[in-house]
Amino acid sequence: MRGEPIELECPFCGKGKIQAWYIPGVWSFKRKSTKTLPGPGTPIKSKDIYIIQSGCNLCGKSKEEVERELKKKNII
């Protein structure tokens, strides 16, 4: 699995650091289903994936609470 570790800012206190694993999306091409109109197909990009590793080290929020709040704010 490819990816890289990153640090995100806590969505609650704004000062704490949250450890996460970031896996960027990849581009792929969907092939056309017809043989009469050949072409490269349609490009499709998968979503970026964030895996939260820890909660906030300052305010004490759990990993689940932090992940829920980051998804609610569309950060991940």
C-alpha to C-alpha distance for 62 and 10, rounded to whole angstroms: 11
The answer on pLDDT for 60 being more than 70 is yes
10-57 pLDDT, tens digit per residue, is 999 989 999 999 999 988 888 777 666 666 778 899 899 999 999 998
- pLDDT score recorded for residue 53: 94
Tell me the pTM: 0.72
**Cα–Cα nearest to 75, from 23, 10, 1, 2:** 10
- pLDDT score recorded for residue 38: 67
- pLDDT score recorded for residue 1: 56
Tokens of 69: 């709040």
